[in-house]
Amino acid sequence: MSVIRVEGLSFKYAGADDYSLRDISFRVKKGEFVGILGASGSGKSTLCLTFNGIIPHSITGDFEGNVYVKGYNTKDKSVAELSTLVGLVLQNPDSQLFNMTVEEEIAFGLENLGLDVEEIKRRIKWALKLAGLEGFENEFPPNLSGGQKQRLAIASVLAMKPEVLVLDEPTSQLDPLGREQVLSLVTLLNKEQGITTIMVEHNTDYLLNFADRVIIMHKGEIILEGKPRQVFGEVEFLENLGIKIPTSVKIGYRLKREGHINTASLNEREVIEELKRILGKEL
Ligand SMILES: Nc1ncnc2c1ncn2[C@@H]1O[C@H](COP(=O)(O)OP(=O)(O)OP(=O)(O)O)[C@@H](O)[C@H]1O
Ligand SMILES: [Mg+2]
């Protein structure tokens, strides 16, 4: 079953000259992990804002086509209703945290759902445990590290038990440790909790290993889509768009060019094996 279905979606911000999204169609299956890549201004964030209805409800403009979440047309649901279906995490964790304690931050969205106190407590505990923030309940969110803040932002949307988690460059403002923590959490949520995940992320090494599908956007359109191996194998095409090639594919591409192997799109394990084989022959 498709959890997300986008059909002929085009969007032009009010007052803008040009469309930011152009005739986009794709589906996301339950449990799938879809990575989105593209140059700055290609429409990645705009697309993310259509999944939870911020576009067209809060940010208006010319909206054509349809976005369905779990069969519901986002046009027919309020942003509040959609927030229980789609959890959105943004680039800057500071812009998403505004409560006095970690616990209150997570409780905030839940109280608005009208859940009973016991259920709220259960969900807070569950979300904190998954995000690795147990013991931080009474901390003041601005005192947390970047990685902890972003994990708290993820925990807050997770507690709403959404069908889909949408993350728009969640690691781009973090230090290497924070990045690692957030990527590990996203992997755990998708692979172990089965949460459907859509993530804008420039770390193509990560997407090669963990995404089921990758979508490449360019000037508001999807110009390439497929399994990570297939997409990242298009080395020259992606380099022309300024997209970073995964390290193992870069090495594979070079080995292929030098006639050692037939396919460039390798993962880390395969690259190591090929290098051992090639070096072994030469030694
Ligand atoms: N609020 C807005 N009003 C008018 N135009 C906008 C608005 N937000 C974005 N745009 C335009 O829409 C296009 C797509 O922008 P968007 O932010 O979706 O790109 P992006 O792929 O997320 O880029 P980045 O990698 O820099 O985050 C750009 O041309 C941008 O200038
Ligand atoms: Mg963006």
For position 193, which CATH number holds? 3.40.50.300
Mark whether 207 and 271 lie in a shared domain: no
What is the spatial distance between Cα 59 and Cα 203, in angstroms, rounded to a whole number?
29
Question: If you measure from the C-alpha of residue 42 to the centroid of ligand 2, how many angstroms do you get, rounded to a whole number?
Answer: 8
Mark whether 153 and 182 lie in a shared domain: yes
DSSP 90: -
- Ligand with an atom nearest the CA of residue 60: 1
Helices 117-130, 176-191: axis angle to 10 degrees equals 120
What is the spatial distance between Cα 280 and Cα 218, in angstroms, rounded to a whole number?
42
Total structural domains in the chain? Answer: 2
Q: Which position has the token pair 């800057």?
A: 92
Q: Whose CA is nearest to atom 4 of ligand 1?
A: 13
Question: If you measure from the C-alpha of residue 40 to the centroid of ligand 2, how many angstroms do you get, rounded to a whole number?
Answer: 7
- Ligand with an atom nearest the CA of residue 38: 1
pLDDT by 10-residue block (mean), the chain, 283 residues? 96 97 98 97 98 97 98 96 94 91 94 90 95 95 95 95 96 93 95 96 96 98 97 95 94 92 88 90 66
Confidence (pLDDT) at 283 = 57
Mark whether 262 and 227 lie in a shared domain: no
Mark whether 187 and 146 lie in a shared domain: yes
Q: Whose CA is nearest to atom 1 of ligand 1?
A: 13
What is the spatial distance between Cα 171 and Cα 181, in angstroms, rounded to a whole number?
9
**Neighbouring residues of 94: CB distance < 8 A, sequence distance ≥ 6:** 142, 149
Question: If you measure from the C-alpha of residue 48 to the centroid of ligand 2, how many angstroms do you get, rounded to a whole number?
Answer: 9
Closest atom of ligand 1 to 217 CA is: 21
Mark whether 223 and 267 lie in a shared domain: no
In a domain, 57, yes or no: yes
Closest atom of ligand 1 to 220 CA is: 14
In a domain, 140, yes or no: yes
Q: Whose CA is nearest to atom 24 of ligand 1?
A: 40
Whether residue 86 contacts residue 52, with contact meaning beta carbons closer than 8 Å, is answered with yes
pTM for this model (two decimals):
0.95
Whether residue 83 contacts residue 109, with contact meaning beta carbons closer than 8 Å, is answered with yes
Range of the domain at 261: 246-283
- Ligand with an atom nearest the CA of residue 168: 2
Mark whether 195 and 271 lie in a shared domain: no
In a domain, 224, yes or no: yes
In a domain, 193, yes or no: yes
Question: If you measure from the C-alpha of residue 20 to the centroid of ligand 1, how many angstroms do you get, rounded to a whole number?
Answer: 7
Question: If you measure from the C-alpha of residue 173 to the centroid of ligand 2, how many angstroms do you get, rounded to a whole number?
Answer: 12
Q: Whose CA is nearest to atom 27 of ligand 1?
A: 40
CA distances, 169 to each of 72, 182, 263 (Å): 26, 11, 30
Mark whether 179 and 266 lie in a shared domain: no
With a Cβ cut-off of 6 Å, ligand 1 is lined by: 13, 16, 20, 38, 40-46
- Mark which of 235, 257, 272 sits at the end of a domain: 235
In a domain, 240, yes or no: no
Mark whether 155 and 212 lie in a shared domain: yes
Mark whether 109 and 215 lie in a shared domain: yes
Whether residue 165 contacts residue 115, with contact meaning beta carbons closer than 8 Å, is answered with no
Confidence (pLDDT) at 114 = 85
Mark whether 133 and 206 lie in a shared domain: yes
Pocket test for ligand 1, best of 9, 11, 12, 13 (most atoms within 8 A of CB): 13
DSSP 54: I
Whether residue 155 contacts residue 185, with contact meaning beta carbons closer than 8 Å, is answered with no
Question: If you measure from the C-alpha of residue 39 to the centroid of ligand 2, how many angstroms do you get, rounded to a whole number?
Answer: 9
**Neighbouring residues of 110: CB distance < 8 A, sequence distance ≥ 6:** 119, 120, 123, 124, 159, 160
In a domain, 34, yes or no: yes
What is the spatial distance between Cα 201 and Cα 106, in angstroms, rounded to a whole number?
24
In a domain, 241, yes or no: no
Mark whether 142 and 257 lie in a shared domain: no
In terms of Cβ atoms closer than 10 Å to its own Cβ (0-12, 13-18, 19+), residue 84 is middle
In a domain, 118, yes or no: yes
- Ligand with an atom nearest the CA of residue 50: 1
Mark whether 197 and 226 lie in a shared domain: yes
